[in-house]
Structure 1
């Protein structure tokens, strides 16, 4: 039985190379007869591998199927795939960051230690341009694994002002905004959903016990935490414009828009800079009123006085 299984794996590896194989060639590689090759091909087909017959040469090739069967990778291929997934996970290709993390988590779980060392070595000397916050790939993988396995995660966390705390969470999902990675999790001590920036996090390994996943928070709560959480200032503006007009211009990971009436809406957003908040809203080209925080209202009054003084008499 073991011999047959090993032969099937080698046959699958041969068929994954980009060429057509005759039955005689496969028989020679495997050290069996052509009739045994035909039986092994039928076994692969029964397992879901789309092995196509090649007309004219009485041979075989691996085709495309309706579903994705397991793939066999040699050492060099596994390292190449892992490096590529790590690069995609940083946001180098828009729209595939989270799926890249899921795939990379599965791959690194089964990588032999010798290959895992090579991947980390290559990653340590490679430079990936990124204008967002830098996240250690090891942190990304640890958090993704905790989300997948429903295991409690404890970590040291630095707030925007540098305050250090230890948080105990039930991790739910990762969110990538194009510039930063966030963890959406149930904070055990605070008994509420929270968002945490991964670049400010240092997981404590090993993880804690498994937990029963809670009901997923509504999307607006998640995006509100990403848009405003982790920043020094959380601001609210009353905009004199329809909510749909502003929503089309502001991603939900940057700000949360709520309708007040058909002609106005509330915008909630966060930043570490008061000037950045005012500039961002001012460039929307609509009338607005700052509702909070008090520091932003005072800063706007000072800025208004300064700008008025700069006007020629």
Structure 2
């Protein structure tokens, strides 16, 4: 019998894992296996910043496996303003989850990192060997160091106790159950919400920047399958980048075009080139992933966008939009 505890279980990736487990054929590569119990914990189930609350959660469910997604996350400006908060709260969450996993004798833990753990000055493409080769970008060093330290903890637990603790590094994630709050959301959910509002109010849809920067986007339900694969089939302590390939980089203009089509927006659509573009590209290599997983089919970007927009429109009243 296996009990898989997913922290951050109601967020973007946790919801996607729940969807895959509930919809893939039972016993298939990504479906629920006989004898498995999946627990999707949310913040209301226990404050992971608190060691006693974390221990109580683990004592309640006694997980044999953990997918650790819970984190304090935010956009660029939040990271810049509250560096200590992002450092301290994520250090507490990660310490408590890994310690509770160790004390509860969990067989395996996968923690979710971020590409922001990589150094600011680095040669591209990013790969798993470059995480500790220089300091992260100044703008989010609190969050980045807290996440980077998970890799250090994983190796320390393995060295001292033989623990099978590892981590995943996804690129830019989007999909149903994302955070569409215009103040704090990432580029795709922000543009979906802006385009919806422009259509609703009969106003122009304006995208900040030139639209030329390139990014690798991974659909949350594809990422969910990769987490399930990693849980069952990946047994290294070193992290693995979970992403589409470098050849699938998409420009922000292509993203906006796809959103306009999915939303059915027919009004004025422009780019505000007075706004900064940010980094032009920061490609990450998925060669390690592909060398291990074998055949894996990523959802075509436009199909994933159509499904994400459809979910947003159907769930606008309850989605995280910041409009409550």
Give the TM-score category using the shorter length.
under 0.3
> What is the TM-score with the length of structure 1 in the denominator?
0.27
> What is the TM-score with the length of structure 2 in the denominator?
0.26
Structure that is richer in strand per residue: 1
Q: Considering only CA atoms, is the larger Rg found in Structure 1 or Structure 2? A: 1
